[in-house]
Amino acid sequence: MRIHLLCVGQRMPDWVATGYSEYAKRLPPECTLKLVEIESVRRTKTTVAAQAREDEGRRILKAIPKGAGVIALDVAGQCWSTETLALQLKHWLAAGQDCALLIGGADGLAADCLSRAEQRWSLSALTFPHPLVRVIVAEQLYRAWTLLQGHPYHRG
C-alpha cells in the first residue's frame, strides 16, 4: 500500500524536507509514504483567498491516484489518538488500496476536496503552518506503524 501525501506547496525549507524524509524512510515497503507537492497559487495583493483555495483544490483533485481512498486533513475533522490512527492505518492496509491524504495550502482545502474525502482527520484544534503538517503527519504515520508492530517507539 502507498500513502500519497498530497500537499500544496513546493520549495520547502530544509528542516521541512529533512523532517518529512526522516520519518518517510522509516516506513517499510508495504506501507510507503509518497510526497506529492502541488503547486500553490501565486499570491499577489489582488489574490482572493477563496479563488486561490479553489484553484489549488482542482490541482489536488487531479493528483489523487485512481482508486485511492481519500482522507482530508481538516481542522473540523475527527481528532484521532495515536491508537485510533494505528487502527485506521490497519484498516487502510487491510483494504488493500492506496490512500491519499490531502493537505491544503495557506488558505486551507477547497470544498470540493472536502466533499471528495471519505474521512476527515484533524491533527488538532490548533492551526499549524501547512509545511509543518507534512512533518507531523509523516511522524504520526510512522508512530502508528510502530504501534501496530509492537515496536517500543510509542510510549503512550
What does the pLDDT look like over 41-82, one tens digit per residue?
777 777 788 888 899 999 999 999 999 999 999 999 999 999
CA atoms within 13 A on the CB side of 104: 27
User: May I ask the CATH class of domain 7-149?
Assistant: alpha beta
> Would the annotation count 125 as a binding residue?
yes
What does the pLDDT look like over 117-152, one tens digit per residue?
999 999 998 888 888 999 999 999 999 999 999 988
> Would the annotation count 73 as a binding residue?
yes
> Would the annotation count 127 as a binding residue?
yes
> Would the annotation count 124 as a binding residue?
yes
Q: Read off the pTM.
A: 0.92
**Residue 109's pLDDT is what?**
92
**Residue 93's pLDDT is what?**
92
% of the chain surpassing 90 pLDDT? 74
Cell numbers that stand for 112 in this block: 470540493
- Cell 501496530 -> residue: 148
> Would the annotation count 123 as a binding residue?
yes
**Residue 43's pLDDT is what?**
74
Cell numbers that stand for 13 in this block: 525549507
**Residue 129's pLDDT is what?**
86
